[in-house]
């Protein structure tokens, strides 16, 4: 992805409760917004999967003992750049590098610990900011080449 600044053309913001039933809604809402870039089915599927993983992490890891708010923002930039961030105000991550390691999980063995690896495999760039007790923000970026190109 280019380091040049891109002009923001359109944006959306969504806030929802950290109930597991809202994960599919978040995925669909972001995909519907991204659709204006005329992405390929593969690009759209990759965005949906990455967003799904990020939202699921908020639900399962950010708020393990309670419910909280999840904020999702998405932006479309000149040149087909798509950015989305998913933010919670939950427990946070003590060691981001460790959390991003495949198969690492803070929960039981029924969790695969592949969320960040999946996000990284489908997006051009992923950034994780977190503070223990202060929540986590995952930023996902992808250049959409689209069907028209």
User: What is the total count of domains within the chain?
Assistant: 1
Task: Tell me what pLDDT residue 125 has.
Answer: 97
Give domain status of residue 20, yes or no.
Answer: yes
Window from 20-24, 32-36, 38-42, 62-66 with minimum mean pLDDT: 62-66
What range does the domain containing 122 cover? 11-143
Is residue 99 over pLDDT 90? no
Q: Which residue is associated with the tokens 């932006």? A: 75
DSSP H or E segment with residue 71: strand 69-77
At 118, the pLDDT band (50, 70, 90 cuts) reads: confident
Give domain status of residue 6, yes or no.
Answer: no
Give domain status of residue 4, yes or no.
Answer: no
Give domain status of residue 15, yes or no.
Answer: yes
| Residues catalogued as catalytic | 53, 57, 111
Is residue 112 over pLDDT 80? no
Give domain status of residue 24, yes or no.
Answer: yes
Give domain status of residue 28, yes or no.
Answer: yes
**Distance between CA atoms of 141 and 10, rounded to whole angstroms?**
15
The CATH number of the domain holding residue 18 is: 3.30.565.10
Give domain status of residue 2, yes or no.
Answer: no
Give domain status of residue 148, yes or no.
Answer: no
**Distance between CA atoms of 71 and 89, rounded to whole angstroms?**
9
* Token pair listed for 148: 């028209």
Task: Tell me what pLDDT residue 103 has.
Answer: 56
Window from 12-16, 116-120, 130-134 with minimum mean pLDDT: 116-120
pTM flag (> 0.95): no
């Amino acid at each position: 992805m280019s380091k040049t600044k891109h002009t923001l053309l359109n944006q959306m913001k969504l806030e929802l409760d950290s109930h597991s039933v809202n994960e599919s809604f978040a995925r669909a809402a972001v995909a519907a917004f991204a659709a204006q870039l005329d992405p390929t089915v593969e690009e759209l599927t990759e965005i949906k999967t990455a967003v799904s993983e990020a939202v699921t992490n908020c639900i399962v890891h950010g708020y393990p003992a309670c419910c909280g708010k999840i904020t999702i923002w998405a932006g479309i930039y000149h040149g087909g750049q798509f950015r989305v961030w998913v933010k919670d105000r939950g427990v946070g991550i003590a060691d981001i590098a460790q959390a991003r390691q495949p198969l690492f999980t803070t929960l039981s063995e029924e969790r695969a610990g592949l969320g960040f690896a999946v996000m990284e495999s489908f997006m051009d760039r992923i950034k994780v900011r977190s503070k223990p007790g202060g929540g986590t923000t995952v930023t996902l970026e992808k250049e959409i080449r689209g069907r028209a190109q």
